[in-house]
Chains A and B, each alone.
Chain A
Amino acid sequence: MSILVNKNTKLLVQGITGRDGKFHTGKMKEYGTNVVAGVSPGKEGLILDGVPVFNSVAGAVEATGANASIIFVPAAFAADAILEASEAGIELVICISEGLPIQDMIRITPILKQNGTLLIGPNCPGLITPGESLVGILPANIFKKGNIGFISRSGTLTYEVVNLLTLNDFGQTTCVGIGGDPVAGLYFIDLLERFENDPETIAVVVIGEIGGDAEEQAAQFIAEKMTKPVVAFIAGQTAPPGKRMGHAGAIISSGSGTAAEKIAAFNRAGVPVAKEPNEIPELLRQKLQNR
Chain B
Amino acid sequence: MKIHEYQARQLFRKCGIPVPEDVLCYTVSEVEKAARDLNRMVVVKAQVLVGGRGKAGGVKLARNVEDAVSAAKQILGMDIKGYKVEKVLVADAVDISKEFYVGLINDRNSKTVTLMASSEGGVEIEEVAKENPEKIIKFHINPLTGLLDYQARDIALQLFGDIKIAQKATSIFKKLYKLYVETDATIAEINPLVLTPDNEVLAIDGKMNFDDNALFRQPEILAMREPDEDELVEIDAHSKGLSYIRLDGNIGCMVNGAGLAMATMDMIKLYGGEPANFLDIGGSSSPQKVIDAMNILLNDKHVKAVMINIFGGITRCDDVAKGLIKALEVISTDIPIVVRLSGTNAAEGLELLKQTNLPTVSSMSEAAQLAIELSNNLIFTPHK
Contacts and interface: CB of A to CB of B under 8 A. Distances in A.
B247 A240 contact: yes
Nearest to B106: A102
B184 A139 contact: no
Interface stretch (A33-41, A210-218, A223-231): A210-218
A155 B313 contact: yes
Contacts of B261: 245-246
Contacts of A278: 363, 365
Label chain B's interface by main secondary structure: mixed
Contacts of A182: 106, 108
B270 A276 contact: yes
Contacts of A111: 144
Interface string B126-164: 100000000000000011100000000000000000000
Nearest to B183: A103
A100 B213 contact: yes
Contacts of B111: 105-106, 109, 183
Interface stretch (A8-16, A49-57, A58-66, A157-165): A157-165
Contact of A110 (B144, B243, B255): B144
A268 interface: no
| Range of interface residues on A (Cβ < 8 Å) | 35 or more
Given A163-B311, A238-B266, A209 B214 contact: no
Given A157-B263, A183-B111, A277-B263, A125 B313 contact: yes
Chain B: number of interface residues, binned into ranges: 35 or more
Interface string A102-146: 110111011100000000000001000000000001110010000
A262 interface: no
B343 interface: yes
A32 interface: no
A246 B258 contact: yes
Interface string B211-249: 111101100000000000000000000000001010100
Contact of B364 (A152, A160, A212, A238): A160
A245 B217 contact: no
A125 B344 CA distance: 16
B311 A276 contact: no
Contact of A214 (B108, B126, B312): B108
A44 B364 CA distance: 46
B260 interface: yes
Interface in A166-211: 180, 182-183, 207, 209-210
Interface in A242-265: 243-250, 254-256, 259
B343 A243 contact: no
A255 B126 contact: yes
B98 interface: no
Contact of B143 (A107, A137, A160, A246): A107
A69 interface: no
A245 B260 contact: no
8 contacts: A155-B260, A159-B313, A159-B343, A160-B311, A217-B109, A236-B266, A246-B261, A248-B212
